[in-house]
Amino acid sequence: MILYPAIDLKDGNCVRLEQGDFNKQVIYQNSPLEVALEFEKSGAKVLHIVDLDGARTGERKNASIIKEIVQNTKLKIQIGGGIRSLESISFWLELGVERVILGTAAMKDRQLLEQAISTYGDRIIVGVDAKNSYVAINGWEESTNQDSFEFCKQLELLGVKTVVYTDISKDGMLSGPNIEAYKRLAEETNLNIIASGGVSTLNDLETLSQLNIYGAISGKALYEGKFTVEEALKCLQEELYRA
């Protein structure tokens, strides 16, 4: 299983929200590049970036910061937040980002999603953000009546290969991921599932790995020293070896 250290950007800072609430944010670092370099130094090969400003407004307010990370690290970066057009997808990929994550756009614009998959293949990831098992959009601030599990099945039929599935109630709470949701997704789809929200211990990583989950995103747990990147990578190597 792949560990994705996370950087959430808001107003140029590294922040974490609680349950997607923009009024409950903690600023951890004012130099996202330093954070990315530290992750890389610790052995990370990939990086998950969320542009929270973009998620709310659709604007690329943090583009210069992300460009700086791309140019100064060898990390393979996946980015989400406000990517709602083919032009925006092209912008990020040409900048040097490895993969882009469509969230709101995947839910609201089926034609765009199909065009993106047709053009860019597995460089397109879909972010499925779930609130009480229903998809939430527009920076998690708007709920829909779309069942998140059925939506994932629809995405697979459209040719999507990888999904970041976030249980919003778990995000930033350090309370453990929604294991039952990931177990169900692993059983009912053949998608590459990246687990997001609540990963707070090495045991959480082991449990997800045992479910054959493709990847796990960790942000707050790393920032608050619940475990280190080195410890997580060692844990996952040992888990893979035991499997």
Q: Which one of 11, 51, 109, 129 is the catalytic residue?
A: 129
Mean pLDDT of 33-56: 94
What is the distance between the alpha carbons of residues 23 and 164, in angstroms, rounded to a whole number? Answer: 24
What whole-number distance in Å separates Cα of residue 165 and Cα of residue 2?
A: 15
- Tokens standing for 81? 């937040």
Count of domains for the chain? 1
**Per-residue confidence band for 54, with pLDDT thresholds at 50, 70 and 90:** confident
Q: Among candidates 148, 147, 154, 156, which has minimal Cα distance to 191?
A: 156
Residue 72 has pLDDT above 90, yes or no: yes
- Mean pLDDT, range 13-42, rounded to an integer: 84
Q: Which of 106, 99, 50, 60 is nearest to 78 (CA)?
A: 99
Of 54-58, 173-177, 196-200, which has the strongest mean pLDDT? 196-200
Per-residue pLDDT of 209-231, as tens digits, reads 999 999 999 999 999 999 999 99
Name, in order, each residue with C-beta under 8 angstroms of 176's C-beta and a sequence gap of 6 or more. Answer: 170, 198, 199, 200, 201, 204
pLDDT at 14: 87
122: CATH: 3.20.20.70
Which comes out higher in pLDDT, residue 39 or 240? 39
What is the share, in percent, of the chain residues with pLDDT greater than 90? 75
pTM: 0.92
pLDDT at 62: 94
Q: How high is the pLDDT of residue 143?
A: 84
Confidence class for position 237, pLDDT limits 50, 70, 90: confident
Where do we find the tokens 């047709």?
118
Q: Is the pLDDT of residue 28 over 80?
A: yes
51 in active site? no
Q: Return the pLDDT at 243.
A: 52
Grade residue 125 by pLDDT with cuts at 50, 70 and 90. Answer: very high
Domain span including residue 78: 2-242
| Alpha-carbon distances, residue 106 vs 1, 27, 41 (angstroms) | 25, 29, 34
For residue 172, pLDDT beyond 90: no
State yes or no: is 167 an active-site residue.
no
